[in-house]
């Protein structure tokens, strides 16, 4: 079911500062900020040869990463995203195996305009897992 790692996501308290660190200090290519109101975050992607790092900053009062940043004020690893070829088939297979899908279980459109789902971290060894259909 699992394809490549699409990205690893890091929640950050200050996106412009985090962007400056990756771009100006580490010399990485960083995309323009993208507001994703449906997900309650603003994101940039650090583009690496073999994968991407997604930097997430809260957007709006109801941001799902707000509590995470309260617990981790300087930021922290937030989720890992794996690619799948058929997200609905993957979801059905995972549900059958007893894994919980966050939200209403239907894919949302992610930062790459592709369908994404999140799996409950308690079912995934304490790691929030995103699946993205590619």
Specify the residue, 83 or 130, whose C-beta has the smaller distance to Co ion: 130
Shortest distance, position 124 Cβ to Co ion, whole Å: 14
130 is catalytic: yes
Please give the Cα distance from 19 to 1 (Å, whole number).
33
| Comparison of 46 and 81: residue with beta carbon closer to Co ion | 81
- Shortest spacing between CB 110 and Co ion, in angstroms: 6
**Smallest separation, CB 118 to Co ion (Å):** 9
Q: Centre a 10 Å sphere on the Cβ of residue 27 and count the other Cβ atoms it contains.
A: 7
Bridge partner residues of 97 (DSSP)? none
* Lookup result for tokens 């994404």: 116
**Active-site choice (54, 57, 83, 130):** 130
CB of 56 or CB of 98, closer to Co ion: 56
Residues near Co ion (CB under 5 A) are 9, 54, 81, 130
- Residue 99's contacts (CB-CB under 8 Å, 6 or more residues apart) are 119, 120, 123, 124
What Rg do the C-alpha atoms of the chain give, in angstroms?
A: 15
DSSP state of 21: I
List residues with catalytic annotation: 130
């Amino acid at each position: 079911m699992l394809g490549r790692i699409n990205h690893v996501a890091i929640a950050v308290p200050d996106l412009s500062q985090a962007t400056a660190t990756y771009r100006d200090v580490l010399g990485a290519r960083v995309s323009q900020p993208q507001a994703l109101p449906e997900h309650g975050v603003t994101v940039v992607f650090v583009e690496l040869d073999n994968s991407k790092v997604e930097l997430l900053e809260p957007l709006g009062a109801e941001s799902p990463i707000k509590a995470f940043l309260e617990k981790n004020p300087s930021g922290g690893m937030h989720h890992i995203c794996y690619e799948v070829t058929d997200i609905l088939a993957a979801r059905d297979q995972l549900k059958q195996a007893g894994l919980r899908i966050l939200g209403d279980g239907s894919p949302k459109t992610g930062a790459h305009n592709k369908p994404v789902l999140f799996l409950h971290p308690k079912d995934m060894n304490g790691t929030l897992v995103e699946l993205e259909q590619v």
